[in-house]
Each structure stands twice: as structure tokens, then as C-alpha cells.
A and B are shown apart, each in its own frame.
Chain A
Amino acid sequence: MNTFHQIVWLGRRSLLFTLRQPVQIVPSIFFPLMFLVVIAAGGDRASTIPGFPAESYFAFALGGAFVQGTMLSGVNSGSKLAYDIETGFLDRLVLTPVGSGSILIGHMIGSLAVSLIQLFTFLAAGLIGGVHIAAGVPGILVMFALALAVSIAFSALGVIVGVRTGSSEAVQSAFPLFFILLIFSSYMLPRNLMEADWFRWFATANPASYLIEGIRSLVITGWDLGALAAGFGTAAGVAALTLTGAAVSLRRKAVWS
């Protein structure tokens, strides 16, 4: 079996595993969607703050929901891998000629599928909520591309945590850390309106801000090449680091097994 076939079979398994368990899908769609709807409704008047960049707070917050959802579903893939370790499946798998790259990519296919379902759901919620995507249909495609890049980057991070800990509970207990990463970003307010210097500094140093601002620019501004370059550059940088880390972790796991 060549590498392509290995990826297809492992990807199929990951996809079926994910789709057969609504508990894998529903929370990572429901929580960001609920957070978006509630925060957007409660913070609706924020659009009247002098200097606020959008006419609707819902449109402003939509990009954050995209990143939150894809981040969560990405990390969730680590919990699936940890489950495979707990049940001994991964140990048996690494005894076969299947490469660690195939295992990694195969695992990500399930989380990418969840991310796609999320993206369509959030987009539908946005459109129902009256959001107009400033960059039009091509912008939606670019939004999806950036969001899927985020999903890949954080899937790999989930794989690292899953392989290192071997515990799905440990992966899930890392979720609040990602929520903190989002809360201390430009998810809820643009950086130029943050009045506390320390918070603005933290949000500027936080990669999640650039991922959110890249997607947000397509929703509220149109084609802002600077924001898109920062978004894709950050996603590529994080993905390069986490994919390398995930590949190394899986290879070490194979050697120990």
C-alpha cells in the first residue's frame, strides 16, 4: 500500500469516527456559535463606539467564531489520537509499514471535515444575522482557506498533546487554554480601541489576533492585503511549527513502540 492509499484509508477511518459520534461535532459547532450569537447580541451597541470599524457587531465578531471553531475542532483531533493510544490501536498501527506522515494527515481529515461543517454553519448564521461579506463570494473562499489553515495548524497541536500525554482527557483539559488565547486577542474589540496598554500589547503579541483579523477583514473591509498576509503568514508559521512537532512526536512514538 503506497502513502496515498494509507492516507485515504486512515482519513476514511477518521472521517467515519468523527461523523458517527455527534459528540465530536456538536460541541465544537454549538459553543462558538452560541458564544458568537450571545456576545454579538449583547455587544450590539459597540458599533456606536467612535472609531469602531464595522456597522454591525455581529459582522465584526464573526471572524472570531470562525477561528474559535476551527481551533477547537483542530485540537479535538488530538483527543481522537489519544483515544487510539488508550485503546492500543496506535501501537498496532505503528507496527505496520504505515508512515507517521500518513497517520498525521489521515487524522487531520476528520477534523477538517468538522471544520468545513462549522464554516458553513457560521457563514449561514452570519448571513441569517444580516451580515454582508464585503469581499463577496471569492472572499468567502479565501475565508474558508484561512480557517482551514488554522484547523490544520491546531490539529497538529492537538496531535502533539495527544501523543505526548496519551490521554483524551488531557487533550480536552487543554481547551480552556485556547479559550484564554482567544479572549486575550482582538476577538471582541479592535486593537486600536483597547484602552489598557498591557491588554493591547498582549493582543498584538497573540497570533490568534492576526488569524481573526485576516478573516474579519474579508467580512467587514473587503480585500485588505496586509491583514490577509498577516493572517496567512501566522497560520503558515504556526502550522510549520506544529506539523513538525506532531511529525517528530509520532516518529518518537513509533520508535518507543
Chain B
Amino acid sequence: MKAYLDSVRAVTRRNLVNAIRNPALTVQPALGPIVFLVAFGGGLSAFGDIPGFDFPSGYTSFQFVFILMQAGVFNGVFLGITLARDLESGFARRLMLAIEHRTAMVVGYVLAGAVRSLLMFAILFGVGLAAGMQIDGSAWHMLALFTFPLLLSIVGSLFASGIALRFQTVQAAPLMFMPSFMLLFLSPLLVPFDLLSGWIKAVARFNPVTYFLEAGRGFISGRPHDTLLAYALGAGMVAVFSVWAVRSLKRAEAAG
């Protein structure tokens, strides 16, 4: 067990040191969510005037929750790209030869992604406050809110790591981005779920991100609801994508 934890710590540490030495790795995934937060929060606030739009904390807070989820997912995907780059360069292959339990490598990458996500959430929180975001929830509510994008970051890392391990090339990046992009945008992004209509409402109903958004918006407005369902979905997704990542690792090992 100690050897396993040492391996996890070493892989995590290496990724974090890399991120510090190469700020582009941290800045690049953060830019998209910041731009969306500024643009959607500031420019689309008139969406809050839609009849039936009931979110007293304001449109910037409404969008902030989506931006957090986006940051979590995309940060996870960027972590997968880092793994793909390491596989392409041969580093990850040498790592797989060096460590006894290879799942420790995947866990290390995922943990590094989670730490980087937390840093990004802090930056986004600062940007949100500067943009006039209103918080009606308590400190506990806010801490609970951040667990959802953290869960999505872990799910994103596991999913993207699986793709990276199967294709072992950075050119597989669109395969990591496309499903993530679809998952995020087929959700109540601009208006609450109740105001959606037509096919998007039917799709959003089966999209787990919808429940993270609804629960997260409940926390920031101080009116928590559907939180257990969101956490149950998050736990289920982590379990499913852990299996996916481990199976991908086995496939990579079998491929030599």
C-alpha cells in the first residue's frame, strides 16, 4: 500500500511541478471559462428578464455555476491531453515500466487534475466576485457547490485518460473534447431547466450535468435542492469512468 501511495504521490507531484514550471498548462484551460464567465455573466444578463426566470441571486451567479462545471470538465480533459503527450513522448511508457501498480499512474494524473481544478475554481471565484456575482448561500453552501465541479473534473480526467491510453496520441484530443462539449452544452446553460422546451428539455433531462447545475445553483442562491440526486449521479459517474480508465490501462499494457 505504501509503495502504491508513494507512486501516486510522485506522479501527482511531477504533474503539479510541471504545471508550475509551464504556466501555459494552467492558464490555457482557465482562459475559456474566464472568457465565458465575463461574456455570459456580463453580456447575457437580459436572459434574467425572461418571464418565469426565477433566480434572485442574479444572472452572473446563475452563469457562474455553469462556468465552474465547464472549468471542471475541461480541466479534466486537459489532464488527459497531458497524459496523451506523455504517452506520445514515451515518458508514460517508462513510468509504466517503473511502477509496480500501474493504476497508481492514472490515480496520480487524476489527483493532479483535481488539485489544478481547485486552483482554477479559486481564480474563477475571484473573477466572479469582481464581476459583481451575488452569493446568497452560506460558506458551507459554497464549499458544497465546489464539490460538483470537482467531481466533474475527476470524471473528465478519468474519461480523457481512458481515451489517451487507448489512442496514445495528442491527436485524439477532439475525441476527448467533443463528448465533454456536448455534455456541457446540452444542459440548462442559458436558462433554468423549467424554462427549457422542446427537444433540448428532453435531452437535458437525461444529462447528469443538468442535476449538477440545478443543485449548484440551489447552493449559490441559498436554496439547496436535489443535492442527494446530484451527489449520487456524481458517485456513479466516478465509478463508471474509473472502470473505463482501468480497462483502457489494461488495453495499453496489452498493446505493449
- Partner pick for A196 among B43, B182, B189, B191, CB 8 A cutoff: B43
Known contacts A41-B199, A45-B195, A48-B51: A189-B31 contact under CB 8 Å: no
Does B149 sit within 8 A of A, measured CB to CB? no
- When C-beta atoms are compared, the residue in chain B nearest to A31 turns out to be B181
Q: Mark A28-68, 1 if CB is under 8 A from B, else 0.
A: 00000011001101111110111000000000000000000
Main secondary structure, interface of A, reads helix
Known contacts A38-B185, A38-B186: A43-B191 contact under CB 8 Å: yes
| B190-A42 in contact (CB<8A) | yes
Complex CA distance for A184 and B200, rounded to whole angstroms: 25
Q: Mark A191-231, 1 if CB is under 8 A from B, else 0.
A: 00111101100010000000000000000000000000000
The minimal Cβ–Cβ distance linking A85 to chain B, given in whole angstroms, is 21
| A38-B200 in contact (CB<8A) | yes
- When C-beta atoms are compared, the residue in chain B nearest to A173 turns out to be B28
Does B50 sit within 8 A of A, measured CB to CB? yes
| B43-A50 in contact (CB<8A) | no
- When C-beta atoms are compared, the residue in chain A nearest to B59 turns out to be A195
- When C-beta atoms are compared, the residue in chain A nearest to B198 turns out to be A41
- When C-beta atoms are compared, the residue in chain A nearest to B31 turns out to be A176
| B46-A193 in contact (CB<8A) | yes
Residues from chain B with Cβ under 8 Å of A184 in the complex: 39, 43
Does B91 sit within 8 A of A, measured CB to CB? no
A-B CB contacts (within 8 Å), total count: 75
| B197-A195 in contact (CB<8A) | no
- Partner pick for A45 among B44, B45, B191, B199, CB 8 A cutoff: B191
- When C-beta atoms are compared, the residue in chain A nearest to B50 turns out to be A45
Complex CA distance for A188 and B191, rounded to whole angstroms: 13
Q: Mark B23-50, 1 if CB is under 8 A from A, else 0.
A: 0000000011001100100111111011
The minimal Cβ–Cβ distance linking B243 to chain A, given in whole angstroms, is 29
Residues from chain B with Cβ under 8 Å of A199 in the complex: 39, 42-43
Known contacts A48-B51, A184-B39: A41-B46 contact under CB 8 Å: no
The minimal Cβ–Cβ distance linking A177 to chain B, given in whole angstroms, is 10
| A194-B31 in contact (CB<8A) | no
Does A180 sit within 8 A of B, measured CB to CB? yes
Does B196 sit within 8 A of A, measured CB to CB? yes
- When C-beta atoms are compared, the residue in chain B nearest to A183 turns out to be B39
Known contacts A42-B189, A44-B197, A176-B32: A49-B47 contact under CB 8 Å: yes
Extra pairs beyond A38-B186, A42-B188, A203-B43 (10, CB < 8 Å): A35-B185, A45-B53, A45-B191, A46-B46, A48-B51, A49-B50, A50-B49, A183-B35, A194-B45, A199-B42
Q: Which 7 A-B pairs have the closest CB atoms?
A: A41-B200, A199-B43, A196-B42, A193-B46, A183-B39, A38-B185, A195-B45
A-B contact pairs, 13 of them (CB 8 A): A34-B182, A38-B189, A39-B190, A41-B196, A41-B199, A42-B188, A44-B198, A45-B52, A46-B190, A188-B44, A189-B46, A196-B42, A199-B39
